[in-house]
Amino acid sequence: MIITELLERNAWQYPDDEALVEINPTKKPEQYKTWKEFSLVEPVAAKQYRRSITWEDFNRTSNRIANMILSMGIKKGDKVAILLMNCLEWLPIYFGVLKTGALAVPLNYRYAADEIKYCLELADVDMLIFGPEFIDRVSSIKDSVPRVKNMIFVGNEEVSFAKNYEEQIKYYTSRKPVIDLTEDDYAAIYFSSGTTGFPKAILHAHRALINSCRTEQNHHKQTKDDVFLCIPPLYHTGAKMHWFGSLISASKGVLLRGVKPEWIFHAASDEGATIVWLLVPWVQDILDSIDRGDLKLSDYDLSSWRLMHIGAQPVPPSLIARWKKVFPKHEYDTNYGLSESIGPGCVHLGIENIDKVGAIGKAGYLWETKVVDDKGNPVKQGEVGELAVKGPGVMICYYHNEEATKEILKDGWLYTGDMAKLDSDGFIYLVDRKKDVIITGGENLYPVEIENFIRKNDKVRDVAVIGMPDDRLGEIATAIIEVKDGLTLTEDEINKFCEGMPRYKRPRKIIFADIPRNPTGKIEKPKLREKYCGGRLVEKQTTK
């Protein structure tokens, strides 16, 4: 089965039921406590706050998009990049691309212009669909990506170098295009990065997408009556593959464009959310707001909410204990995965295993796991080894990178680079990772990339970036800087210098000190962690 067939089934069985809702909380005046109250008093303005689409409209729109793309010369096997913030158009565009037989290539909306260009070239992208937030970035690179012959703009502005999405799709039929597809056909390219910070293009087949639906529904038991509140970005495998549980169960998904605690509670209350996937910082913010009295549970109807689950970064057990005190009836789950394993689900805790919080869990539905030594042999219970996973969501390869593919794929097993151990019950605990990737607030930061940027400062002799444990964000990027002899350098100067990087990549802590290196010239980061983090390691639990 192809994942687009699930959309077509839903459109046939539940044509008038809401499939997707977009909530833009900045569009609702504070005096209105609920969506219903707002819509009754200001119905026109309320449509900017809440937009929705039925399953029939979702499918018909995807067909129009597919036919539009095909008319522009895109064919099976071509690549179409999607660069959008979360919005109602995102998923219909994604499914429209899949229906053409082309590969969907979601791009991180945090990418700077040069990163967008790099990814477009790496993935051999033929078409780019982008939103208003990216006009300047795309404009600056448009002439240097000649392969991208068509650009489509999703927004109200006039963009001279791109065709307008709304103006184009209205001319195309909503009939399904006839394209022969199987589960073995290529479906999508997602991006990850290695320790160098350069993104790798991860190639997935349709088999991975459809099986992620089955895994998600098995883990979280979605039914037609569920409502999934989706807050993380859809370019990430984590958010989209969790929403796939809504797709396979034909239940409503709600896209919330914002992360303030009151916005999350308003959306959950108004829409009757039953499942909410949160990141650690958002959980922390919600609980802190409740403790301060800024967020009052009595102002919201959260009676439908049955499951809160977390992924994308380490989850402190103490945080879940706090949550359970406030929401004792909530089920809880945590999910581990990588973009190379089509996102979350290859390992999960399980809602019945709340007593094992701290572990990432066991092999997910349709998945196998093992913890091995450097020779690929299983380690004994309690010993540390590398976590490897195997299942229908394992990537085909790193596109255009055979060497990196061989390093991570061995006999059908995906070697994660994360170091783990098993307890006596077979639950997996992550204890460290081979790579130095820093996970802060669910986003991956790459130390070498930050180090290379800071080294451009004329006063910097050497620099090392490590992840320092942080109760709210999991880790924060900390730059240890060695200043050139005879010069002075201040924290303010470095912070000002780092404004040349995207905000999320800038180090949050600066330390001026000598950088230890071993005889071969490599930075001895374990020594730095021991010195500045007290040897404390963050348990690694991430969707990469």
The pLDDT, as a whole number, for residue 524 is 78
Mean pLDDT in residue range 342-354: 92
Tens digits of residue pLDDT in 492-544: 999 999 999 888 889 999 999 998 875 444 577 878 888 888 654 444 443 33
Band of residue 458 on the pLDDT scale cut at 50, 70, 90: confident
Which position has the token pair 């959260």?
A: 302
Enter the DSSP assignment of 359: B
Mapped onto helix, strand or coil, the DSSP state of residue 139 is helix
pLDDT tens profile 249-280:
999 999 999 999 999 999 999 999 999 999 87
Domains of the chain: 438-533 (3.30.300.30)
The chain-wide mean pLDDT, for the chain, equals 90
- pTM, two decimals, is 0.84
Residue 382: how many CB atoms within 10 A of its CB? 10
Please state the rounded mean pLDDT for residues 207-229: 97
What are the CA-CA distances from residue 522 to residues 49, 179, 269, 446, 462 (Å)? 52, 52, 53, 16, 12
Q: What's residue 542's pLDDT?
A: 37
Using CA atoms, how far residue 362 sits from 94, 334, 422, 443, in Å, is 31, 11, 9, 24
Rounded Cα distance between 188 and 202, Å, is: 8
Position 544 scores a pLDDT of 36
Residues 6+ apart with CB under 8 A from 235: 82, 83, 84, 106, 107, 108, 109
Q: Which residues pair with 438 in a beta bridge?
A: 445
CA angle 130, 131, 137 (to 5 degrees): 75
The DSSP result for 22-59, as a single string, is EE-GGGS-TT--SHHHHHHH-HHHHHHHEEEEEHHHHH
Q: How far apart are CA 420 and CA 425, in angstroms?
A: 14
Query: Strand, coil or helix: what is 397?
Result: strand
